[in-house]
Amino acid sequence: MEESKDTVLYEDYKFLTANDLQQLNATHLIGTPMLKAYMHGYFIEMRAYQKLLSVADPFAFERFRKEQINQKLNSLREKRI
């Protein structure tokens, strides 16, 4: 059998469309070295993307944590009945 090795060209990059950049309030980065234009969107480094995401929505982690706690509590309630 033949082993296939899939190589990902942009492993540490995130692909964003123009709409994604608008949601992150990062349209000012178009044309800078931070974004690499590709087809109908842009590639941005993952670290920079995560920083933009945390600035755009600073309470996302707290919401995620609360949702996880609620899901766990609901699953415990279902088992109890």
**CA 49 from centroid of its chain's CA atoms:** 7
Helix (H) or strand (E) holding 41: strand 41-45
Closest among 14, 54, 53 to 34, alpha carbons compared: 14
Q: Write the pLDDT tens digit of every residue in 10-61.
A: 689 999 999 999 998 889 999 999 999 999 999 999 999 999 988 888 898 8
DSSP result, 1-16: -----PPPTTTTEEEE
Domain ranges of the chain: 13-80
pTM for the model: 0.65
